[in-house]
Structure 1
């Protein structure tokens, strides 16, 4: 309830307005009366004082001063009343701005504080209106004592109005942070909603363009259709759904619509890419079929020249390769069908499966040939592998001793173990049918261990330098 809503404001307002209008009419009358007539009135006035009962008791001297003082007090109170009412209305807008955005405990306390101030404003406004209603300063028979009483009451009412106005001003100053935060969010609201709408329009236009080129894009159309209820809520406004929720919804719609637009614009390129991948993967599957047939001769040579430990793990490769290639070809047919039906996500997923199958088959087929090559090399001259591993160990030992008289046991122990492990691997080459594959796996394991020690030393020294 504002100050203008106080009881019984209708009668009070009429009285106040009547007083103001009366004052204005009096001033205008003095200004607009022709000079000769004004002089005539002035000539008649002394006679009126000389007359009998028609003379005003308050006119002239102290009575006239009391009436003027009372009227001045009334004007001052009216001005204070207007200022308080205006300030309350402005503050109400600020409070409504805060509550539209903020539901925090601090915001709730601000609302409660404003309500308490509103009750104080009602009290002082009622006192002011009562004082105005109690005295008609336009009466011809206004008594001097009544004028003095009116001045006192109106001055007191004005002082109370001014005091409460000061409380209102101080309260408003305390709302600075809350109001700034709320106004910032409100300032974001309209642009955010407009950006969301424009994003939806752009997505719709992009989808129409894609469909015009012969691509259906049904999944994108479904995603765009799911945004329609969100647009409805945006159009209903923050007054119904709240400012924070509307901002979040606008950001979400913007993000989702942009994703639809981007995918729609890229769809022709995506379709061409899927076509290209279909051709490429079919060619690769055919090549792997040819290569898989070559694994058996490789295995035959491995079996003939090396011990079982060197090739036994490769025995399933031909059969596994054939199965994997058949699976890949089946998935390729499914991917081709999905492409024809423009089920783009399905086509993409199926092509990913085909690629994984062909990759694993390629590795298995390549492993057989690589095994034979490495075994041939080490059988011809194992010394190169031995020296390579010894060099790695010696290099790590030099690093471990750099800046030290004795190595750190954490570094020395795994390096000593690596030396012993290498010696055992070399000893295993003696005999009529050495296990060359075990030798190769052992030397690789030794080099990995040595490399871990090197990495540990460098990491510790780097941390110490920092």
Structure 2
């Protein structure tokens, strides 16, 4: 453009090229039809004023110079074009297309930024094939966004719509290119929106885990603090609780990793670590709070089991008179298995007392698991001794009863058999062989047991064991019948 006295030359600012990956959102300029009309009217007024000014200058020139200059002036000479009407309308339409493209560019850029946050949220939590595929698809969309953005920026840089000498054809071309760029940006935006909608399940899952992360880590910290406080309170009462302190110390490095954050160790691993730390710390806290009661319970058990061992020592001494009477009144088969009861009882009591001393030492050293285990062993030894000592007295009592009146045991067994037979025949004309055969065998077995009572020295113990075995067999048949009928009814 050539400078003239009426309009000095103003250089146009240079607009550097911005790559698609580094572009900055352009400032949106809002344009309306009224604005376009205002600009067109301003152009016409500027052109008219210039024409009148040029005419005034011509009238002041001498006639020879006026004759030489006037044809050129009316032929369109000068640096400003007469531009109005349709030309300004084209400029306004091009500016409107530019503003619409800028708005589309801004919307696409905003959507891409929001979607990038969603993708980063998913990748921070999920490493599944679906998540990896979503990342790959987002990268592909990113290439399309770059291409559409480049098309828009190129169209903006190629046309200066504020030039005074903008031609109508150039404005029309600018409008076409900017409209095309806007359409492409809109198309990519729709594809981006569809892609974003498809991320719903993955994003919901990721956000759920992220929402759990902070509370889980805080619970772990609070659990560790509670465990530490409980341990301090226990130690303040005079209990050492060394095993609990060692378990709590193991959780220290885990707390360090939790403090380092999920950014370093990953969200899933951090969640698992937080839950594990909270669980283990809670266990330590509960045991620490229960420790004084546990110590008191161990003390009570020591006293109780020591008293019981002394009582069993006294009862074991009474087994010999019972065995003497069994030998005197009944056959060897009735008492032979009880011969070693006094010796076994004495040995069990001796072992129990030795374990009690060890348990006492463990209690004084505050080795709580050892003390508890030893007391369980003592209890098992005393239970076995109690059963053996009681068996001798029970044997004599049962043998005395059957020797006095065996008919009571016989009738008890026969009643069980008859009751089972009535159940087997209920609703049937003939019994099921699976039920009838065992019951018939039980009847025969009872008869054989009764026959053993004949003679000078009957084996009452064999008779009792046989009748018990018959009743157990009958009970099995009754249970089988009820189970089958219950299943059929269901």
User: Residue 216 in 1 paired to residue 218 in 2?
Assistant: no
The Cα of 1:339 is off from its aligned counterpart by: 0.8
Counterpart secondary structure, 1:158: helix
Counterpart secondary structure, 1:215: coil
Structure 2 match to 1:202: 226
Contact (CA 8 Å) 1:210, 1:267: kept in 2 or not?
A: yes
Q: How does 1:341-356 map to 2 (within 5 A)?
A: 341-356=365-380
Separation in 2, partners of 1:224, 1:268: 18
Structure 2 match to 1:163: 187
Contact (CA 8 Å) 2:94, 2:161: kept in 1 or not?
A: yes
Contact (CA 8 Å) 2:20, 2:149: kept in 1 or not?
A: no
User: Residue 106 in 1 paired to residue 130 in 2?
Assistant: yes
The Cα of 1:169 is off from its aligned counterpart by: 0.4
Contact (CA 8 Å) 1:49, 1:55: kept in 2 or not?
A: no
User: Residue 418 in 1 paired to residue 418 in 2?
Assistant: no
Separation in 1, partners of 2:379, 2:144: 78
The Cα of 1:382 is off from its aligned counterpart by: 1.0
Structure 2 match to 1:36: none
Separation in 1, partners of 2:43, 2:161: 23
Counterpart secondary structure, 2:474: helix
Separation in 2, partners of 1:258, 1:6: 58
Number of equivalent positions:
447
Contact (CA 8 Å) 2:105, 2:182: kept in 1 or not?
A: yes
- Picking from 407, 410, 415, the partner of 1:383 is 407
Separation in 2, partners of 1:349, 1:58: 110
Separation in 1, partners of 2:46, 2:485: 116
Contact (CA 8 Å) 1:58, 1:64: kept in 2 or not?
A: no
Separation in 2, partners of 1:143, 1:152: 14
Separation in 2, partners of 1:129, 1:43: 33
Deviations along 1:167-197, whole A, 9 cap, x unmatched?
0001111111111111111111111111111
* Cα RMSD for the two superposed structures: 2.5
Separation in 1, partners of 2:352, 2:165: 113
TM-score normalized with structure 1 length: 0.90
Structure 1 match to 2:471: 447
The Cα of 1:46 is off from its aligned counterpart by: 2.5
The Cα of 1:137 is off from its aligned counterpart by: 2.2
Moved over 4 A (4+): 40-45, 52-55
Structure 2 match to 1:407: 431
The Cα of 1:99 is off from its aligned counterpart by: 1.4
Structure 2 match to 1:280: 304
The Cα of 1:344 is off from its aligned counterpart by: 1.0
Per the alignment, do residues 418 and 58 of structure 1 end up closer, same or farther by CA in structure 2, a change over 3 Å counting?
A: farther
Separation in 1, partners of 2:399, 2:80: 136
Separation in 1, partners of 2:46, 2:481: 121
Structure 2 match to 1:34: none
- Picking from 67, 71, 94, the partner of 2:95 is 71
- Picking from 170, 193, 197, the partner of 2:217 is 193
The Cα of 1:62 is off from its aligned counterpart by: 2.1
The Cα of 1:352 is off from its aligned counterpart by: 0.8
Separation in 2, partners of 1:227, 1:405: 73
Deviations along 1:326-360, whole A, 9 cap, x unmatched?
11111111111111111111111111111111111
Separation in 2, partners of 1:288, 1:6: 98
Structure 1 match to 2:19: 7
Separation in 2, partners of 1:332, 1:9: 80
Counterpart secondary structure, 1:385: helix
Contact (CA 8 Å) 1:58, 1:142: kept in 2 or not?
A: no
Deviations along 1:201-249, whole A, 9 cap, x unmatched?
1111111111111111111111111111221121111222222222222
The Cα of 1:49 is off from its aligned counterpart by: 3.2
Deviations along 1:353-387, whole A, 9 cap, x unmatched?
11111111111111111111111111111111111
Contact (CA 8 Å) 1:210, 1:264: kept in 2 or not?
A: yes
Structure 2 match to 1:370: 394
Deviations along 1:77-109, whole A, 9 cap, x unmatched?
111111101000101111111111212211111
User: Residue 325 in 1 paired to residue 325 in 2?
Assistant: no
Per the alignment, do residues 423 and 41 of structure 1 end up closer, same or farther by CA in structure 2, a change over 3 Å counting?
A: closer
Contact (CA 8 Å) 2:47, 2:82: kept in 1 or not?
A: no
Separation in 2, partners of 1:426, 1:369: 24
Q: How does 1:32-431 map to 2 (within 5 A)?
A: 46-50=48-52, 51=54, 56-57=80-81, 59-431=83-455
Structure 1 residue ranges without an equivalent (≥5):
31-39
The Cα of 1:6 is off from its aligned counterpart by: 6.3
